[in-house]
Amino acid sequence: MSKADKSEVFTNVILEIFKLGGLLISEGDQLSKEYGTTSARWKVLGAIALADSPQTVSQIAKTMGLSRQAVQRLVDVISKEGLLEFRANPVHKKARLISLSDSGMDIYAKLDKKQVRWAKDNSLNFSKKDLQTTLSVLKDVSRQFEP
């Protein structure tokens, strides 16, 4: 009885994630528009910026939980905009190492600054405890489905 109710709540969490995901992508697109980029490309910039060292496409894709091909395409288009730098990978002849160019770092810093303000503004109505619970649950759910 109680278990059945729990799985219904679980299902509603999932439906809400689908809905909220779309809304958040729109928000990201709005935030990044001024710098001529999109939320998907911003995510790639972020994955590169936050990595400890230059990464290959394949590594970035793993970090992001996306397919390699999706990231490859995004990297290609971001690279055309001059935001990335490539160098040879001593470990693999085909898989170059990718980092942000100077202008890539510049754009990312601006986006990040804007996002921090946005997050501050939009987290006002939530308690830290609730957000931490939410994060913990979401991470545990993710873990259940990761390949």
Footprint on this chain of a copy of itself (rule: CB under 8 A): 2-14, 16-27, 43, 64-66, 115-116, 119-120, 122-123, 125-126, 128, 130-142, 144-146
> How near is the Cβ of 112 to a copy of itself at its closest, in Å?
10
| Cβ distance to DNA smaller for residue 92 or 117 | 92
Helix or strand (DSSP H, E) at 98: strand 92-100
Instruction: Locate all alpha helices (DSSP H) within the chain, ordered by sequence.
Output: 2-33, 39-49, 57-64, 68-80, 102-122, 128-145
> How near is the Cβ of 38 to DNA at its closest, in Å?
3
Amino acid at position 2, single letter: S
What span, in angstroms and rounded, lies between the C-alpha atoms of 84 and 57? 12
95 binds, among DNA, a copy of itself, none (CB under 5 to 8 A by kind): DNA
Residues near DNA (CB under 7 A) are 22, 26, 38-41, 43, 56-59, 65-70, 72-74, 76-77, 91-96
What span, in angstroms and rounded, lies between the C-alpha atoms of 140 and 143? 5
What span, in angstroms and rounded, lies between the C-alpha atoms of 84 and 37? 14
146 binds, among a copy of itself, DNA, none (CB under 5 to 8 A by kind): a copy of itself
